[in-house]
Structure 1
């Protein structure tokens, strides 16, 4: 099996990672693939334009995961309409620090507000999928019920896709590891602020948190879908 360790492709024996590669105890966690990041509009409140290129790939991977009986969980940021979770209280740190790099974000105040179009999914969500729709900060685990949901489904391994690699994906990977889940991050189906930070985040994951692999290699390890 090919994995990426500190950015370098390495051959890793699957027998060394059996607890990472069992589809029966695995869930795919897709992070923040909604219009608030992906809309091609000047009003997009927190644009992640690099992640638009992975929407179709994520949909295809999710189809392949479902066919193998792997559960798919879609997580997105949603804040109370009055902003009590954020600007109406103690604002999230990124609102003050990220503009130091990218400049002013014109509609940032509208990001993730409940009932707004910015919380609509861009990737496809199927009826059998699970959803977590109350992510308030950077980790998919905080302050959501994701951990309860995964444990109730007897999940021990999480496979992460979505964005930002260096922000919400990385924070979720740290939290998943701290909750004692086995962590896999899909190198080809995550996107970061820029390639440099994306590579740095994946390198940190590979050294401290779990496996960094490409989606096709993981599907090969899961095996072919059962015959119908």
Structure 2
């Protein structure tokens, strides 16, 4: 059931996957990202084919003068470009630069989702026990429905990811499933 005044329209949100992987904990994160990228690439393709908005919400690597093109270009020029290339934004993708953990914190995400008449956010990306968790909570308090495909999120600490998914499900009413179980309704 979508939030107040909302439709059942979904948006697929890809969190922090445009990444250089040259940060603390990258050695722990990259194996999980390697498992997630093929699943996420398929999910992005299915969303695009169904007319579901695909929104990238991404940290800016501390480059406050950066923009989407520069972030993608930087990530594609680094050693882990193979984790970015299959899931990079296309011309129809939307892009929100974020400063900290939540996709909503000091970003236009709430307005964008309202403008698109979205009632459900499908949260994917990284890190499950950090940015995905905090974004799920912020979506929940905004009366948005939350869906998280467990195989389309990457974690640094698997045991914390399990706990985070359980918290999202129990405390926020999030729908936790496998990506293949997600059925995007045609939103065109």
Query: How high is the TM-score relative to the length of structure 2?
Result: 0.79
Aligned match of 2:176 in 212, 216, 223? 212
**1:26 maps to which residue?**
10
1:113-192 mapped onto 2 (5 Å cutoff): 117-118=74-75, 122=84, 123-133=87-97, 135-192=98-155
Q: 1:138, 1:167 within 8 Å by CA — same for their partners in 2? A: yes
Structure whose residues are more often helix by fraction: 2
Unpaired runs of 5+ residues, structure 1, are 1-17, 38-43, 84-112
Q: Which runs of 5+ in 2 are unaligned?
A: none
Q: 1:179 and 1:81, CA in 2 relative to 1: closer, same or farther beyond 3 A?
A: same
When structure 1 is superposed on structure 2, of 147-156 and 114-123 the one drifting more is 114-123
CA RMSD of aligned residues (A): 2.8
Q: 1:82 to 1:137 in 2, by over 3 A?
A: closer
> SS at the partner of 2:148?
strand
Q: After the TM superposition, which parts of structure 1 deviate over 2 Å for at least 4 consecutive aligned residues?
A: 79-83, 113-121
- Give aligned pairs, total: 169
Larger radius of gyration: 1
Does 2:61 correspond to 1:64?
no
TM-score, structure 1 as length reference: 0.66
